[in-house]
Amino acid sequence: MPERLVPINTNHPKLRSLGICHRIEIEHPLLVRESISTKLIAAADQLPNHLQLQIDSAYRSRETQEKIFKAREKQLGKKKTSKLVFDPQKGVPPHSTGGAVDVTLTNKHGIEINLSAPFPKYYQEPQLRSKNISPEAQQLRLLLHNVMTAQEFAPHPNEFWHFSYGDQMWANHYHKNPLFSEVPKNNVPTYHSSIIHLVKLCKIIQMQMIKLGLRKRNY
């Protein structure tokens, strides 16, 4: 029986998620494969008490990935977009396997920590060992990297925030065969409209937090 997709476990004291699939299109709360959820909890448990693991993005349908790519292409052009966003025309998007996540760190109050300081936007210095960021940001990036790879997540070579397990990138990194392919549409849970409404409300709150400077904008 195929492994099911489940919502991120936000009841865990050191694991956070605002429950937003993506700003381009809200389909459902953040979902991952069940085994990935277990690994994320284990990674969060390794963090110091004053830090929490926040999941910014998880499963995306191929259609959502296509919309994200096209939206960024209009803003940045195809060449730059291809370096930042996976082109679904070139294969199975990692996020479409249910095994890839974008993560960051927050303090114990749930406020995101800028892992690209002094740069305001994380994608300005996306490599793990960038020498242009503050020593504190360097240490926190390495901490994030270590707790995730300790659970056998594969790090993205050009995006310090992206990790995956079981997909093609993971297979290439660990010299193994892929465990996961694209999640069939009929294996993606459907949610009642009231749940989607709640997720949209969370999105509005999140955008207000960004305006107030309480949370950085992610792309």
**Residue ranges per domain, the chain?**
5-211
- For strand 51-57 and strand 15-17, is the pairing parallel, antiparallel, or unpaired? parallel
What is the second-level CATH architecture of the domain 5-211?
2-Layer Sandwich (3.30)
Question: What is the model's pLDDT at position 118?
Answer: 79
Give the C-alpha separation, 123 to 66, whole Å. 20
In this structure, are residues 52 and 143 in contact, taking their beta carbons and an 8 Å threshold?
no
pLDDT score at 143: 98
* Closest CA relative to residue 55, chosen from 194, 204, 163: 163
Give the residue ranges of the chain where pLDDT is below 50: 22, 25, 192-195, 217-219
What's the pLDDT at 192? 47
Q: Which two tokens stand for residue 183?
A: 């999640």
Q: What pLDDT, on the 0 to 100 scale, is given for residue 199?
A: 56
pLDDT at 208: 63
Instruction: Provide the pLDDT for residue 205.
Output: 64
139/123 Cα distance (integer angstroms): 17
Q: Helix/strand/coil (H, E, C) string of 48-105?
A: CCCEEEEEEECCCCHHHHHHHHHHHHHHHCHHHHHHHCCCHHHCCCHHHHCCEEEEEE
What pLDDT was estimated at residue 162?
96
Q: Which two three-digit tokens encode residue 5?
A: 């997709």
Looking at the DSSP bridge assignments, the partners of residue 5 are 33
pLDDT score for 79 = 86
Q: What is the pLDDT of residues 119-160, one digit of tens each?
A: 777 667 888 989 899 999 999 999 999 999 999 999 999 899
Q: What is the pLDDT of residue 206?
A: 59
**What are 142-151's pLDDT values in tens digits?**
999 999 999 9
Q: What is the pLDDT of residue 94?
A: 96
